[in-house]
Amino acid sequence: MTASMQSSVGNPADEKRGMNLTLRIWRQKDPSVKGKMVTYKVSDISPDMSFLEMLDVLNEQLIMQGDDPVAFDHDCREGICGMCGLMINGQAHGPQQTTTCQLHMRSFKDGDKIDIEPWRASPFPVIKDLAVDRRAFDRIIQAGGYISVPTGTAPEAHATPVPKADSDAAFDAATCIGCGACVAACPNASSMLFTAAKVTHLGLLPQGQPERDDRVVNMVAQQDREGFGGCTNIGECSAACPKGISMETISRLNHDLLGALRAGARPKS
């Protein structure tokens, strides 16, 4: 890192190493009309720009020309909020296993053609261009992604011990930021990895035990109701997940669900 920065300062030839790119972007005015891919050209893109900054450059260009800028979701731009999410050259969040905001233009080279599409799933309808409505995830969370805690003074910290291995695994699952890359990458448009991350996160901790059976049954019922596809254990989700949530969580969800149904838990209608 340091070495490359020094060389770029010392070498004047590197000053002009901006990239020229051809972008094919999905443009769709609103949910009711059909969209299509539109080709744009951007020039002098620095390899140090993030992918979103490159799109900012394009949008400034479009505004200057009096055209409609490309709508895309983004918020923190530091890889923790899960708002940004684009299908870049057929991969969720592009060629690196990270969020779109943390993908940098150094992953591309001069002259590249880049296809940019929104997440495609019927529960994620396109709002405009590349922005999709992911409230289906919120409703899955509402169906069971919570625990009951009595209000009042904070409980004594050592009252509920948690084994280190469990807390680590729960935390790994809790790193899910709900970006939707799993759904976007899945050939079935299944939200299994997302739901499984939530079920694993809460189900491994003692605080999550009272609602454990109802949680898994209701969250799975909700994801079916939203119209997501079923899981075929192909693994595209985990490979695309910027937080590297593992397929193990899906097995845990299935285990919990089948156990809960045997124990008589039924989804709320």
Binding site for other proteins (CB under 8 A): 24, 26, 37, 87, 89-91, 115, 117, 120-123, 125, 139, 185, 187-190, 220-221, 223-236, 238-240, 246-248, 250-259, 261, 267, 269
Q: Cβ closer to other proteins: 33 or 63? A: 33
Task: State the Cα–Cα distance between residues 188 and 153, nearest whole angstrom.
Answer: 46
State both tokens at 222: 């909700």
Task: State the Cα–Cα distance between residues 51 and 181, nearest whole angstrom.
Answer: 16
Write down the residue that tokens 């720009």 correspond to: 49
Distance of CA 261 to the CA centre of its chain: 30
Q: Cβ closer to other proteins: 177 or 185? A: 185
How near is the Cβ of 113 to other proteins at its closest, in Å?
Answer: 10
Q: Cβ closer to other proteins: 78 or 168? A: 168
Q: Kindly tell me the number of DSSP H helices and DSSP E strands found in the chain.
A: 9, 7
Q: Cβ closer to other proteins: 86 or 101? A: 86
For 29, which DSSP code? S
Q: Cβ closer to other proteins: 185 or 205? A: 185
How near is the Cβ of 205 to other proteins at its closest, in Å?
Answer: 17
How near is the Cβ of 57 to other proteins at its closest, in Å?
Answer: 22
- 193 Cβ partners below 8 Å, 6+ apart? 182, 186, 237, 238, 241, 245, 247, 249, 250
CA dist list (Å): 39 to 1, 116, 241: 33, 10, 28
201-215 b/e with 16+ CB inside 10 Å = b? bbbbbeebeebbbbb
How near is the Cβ of 144 to other proteins at its closest, in Å?
Answer: 14
Strands 126-128 and 131-132: antiparallel
How near is the Cβ of 145 to other proteins at its closest, in Å?
Answer: 17
How near is the Cβ of 249 to other proteins at its closest, in Å?
Answer: 10
Task: State the Cα–Cα distance between residues 267 and 204, nearest whole angstrom.
Answer: 21
Q: Cβ closer to other proteins: 38 or 63? A: 38
